């Protein structure tokens, strides 16, 4: 019998499909701040993270749930993603970063890139391709408002939170101006 290992299991996060270690090593070697954007079934989460040998350090954090205090009902749609990125950009002290979307596939115009657009508008320099960013009418909620008027029952939570379905764009603009007033 041989005493050598014939099979070496992969790391647990790799087996579960949560981490691509080759890609992570490349971003860690760059020593720049990473903006980690994740979309869940109910919200958008964004972190500004710096690598440390003892573990990653979170420099700033924003979630679409935080948008309630600015008068916007935050979920996981495009306007919420933009405002989440904008809020994170205002909280960040470092003005250069790279985008980390994890193992999520890149879909141009999606919520991850709406969050990126919010970060860019807040003054953070992130390398990107302009083709990936969503259109302005998707970002400010015009498309969402049009869809909400046709399907009011699906947007009853907006009504419960004080936003009428025909004024989503107004609520978006108001929340953006409230974030601008917010101090670090």
Looking at per-residue pLDDT, the higher value among 38 and 15 belongs to: 38
For the cut 70, the answer to whether the pLDDT of residue 3 exceeds it is no
C-alpha–C-alpha distance, residues 49 and 58, integer Å: 5
Q: State pLDDT tens for residues 93-124.
A: 999 999 988 777 788 899 999 999 999 999 99
> What is the band of 4 on the pLDDT scale with cuts at 50, 70, 90?
low
Widest CA span in the chain? 74
Average predicted confidence (pLDDT) for the chain: 89
Enumerate the β-bridge partners of residue 63. 45
Write down the pLDDT at residue 183: 63
| Cα separations in angstroms, 45 against 15, 36, 55, 80, 83 | 23, 8, 19, 10, 11
141: left (phi over 0), alpha (psi -120 to 50) or beta: left
DSSP type of residue 101: -
What pLDDT, on a 0 to 100 scale, did the predictor assign at position 119? 97
DSSP 159: H
- Taken in order 103, 107, 112, 115, is the CA torsion positive or negative? positive
Q: Are 144 and 158 in contact, with CB atoms under 8 Å apart?
A: no
Measured in Å, how far apart are the chain's first and last C-alpha atoms? Answer: 64
Helices 142-150 & 78-91 angle (0-180, nearest 10): 140
Range list of H helices, the chain: 12-15, 21-29, 78-91, 111-121, 136-139, 142-150, 156-160, 168-181
Cα 71 to Cα 66: distance, rounded to the nearest angstrom? 10
Task: Determine the pLDDT at residue 78.
Answer: 95
Q: Model confidence over 49-69: pLDDT tens digits? A: 998 888 889 999 999 999 999
Amino acid 127: pLDDT: 94
Residue 19, pLDDT score: 76
pLDDT, tens digit, 9 for 90 and up, residues 130-176:
999 999 999 999 999 999 999 888 888 888 988 998 899 999 999 99
Q: How confident is the model at residue 30, as a pLDDT?
A: 75
Close Cβ partners of 78 (under 8 Å, ≥ 6 residues apart): 111, 114, 134, 138, 139, 141, 143, 144
Domains of the chain: 16-181 (3.30.420.100)
């Amino acid at each position: 019998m041989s005493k050598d290992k014939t099979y070496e299991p992969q790391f647990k996060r790799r087996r579960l499909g949560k981490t691509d270690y080759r890609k992570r090593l490349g971003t860690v070697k760059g020593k720049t701040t990473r903006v980690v954007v994740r979309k869940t079934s109910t919200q958008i989460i964004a972190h500004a993270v710096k690598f440390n040998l003892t573990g990653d350090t979170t420099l700033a954090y924003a979630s679409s749930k935080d948008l309630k205090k600015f008068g916007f009902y935050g979920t996981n749609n495009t306007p919420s993603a933009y405002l989440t990125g904008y809020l994170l950009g205002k909280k960040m002290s470092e003005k250069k970063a790279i985008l980390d979307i994890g193992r999520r596939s890149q879909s141009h115009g999606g919520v991850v890139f709406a969050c990126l657009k919010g970060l860019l508008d807040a003054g953070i320099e992130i390398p990107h391709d302009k083709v990936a960013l969503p259109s302005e009418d998707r970002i400010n909620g015009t498309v969402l408002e049009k869809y909400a008027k046709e399907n009011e029952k699906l947007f009853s939570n907006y009504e419960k939170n004080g936003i009428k379905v025909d004024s989503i764009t107004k609520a978006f603009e108001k929340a953006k101006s409230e974030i601008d007033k917010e101090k670090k």
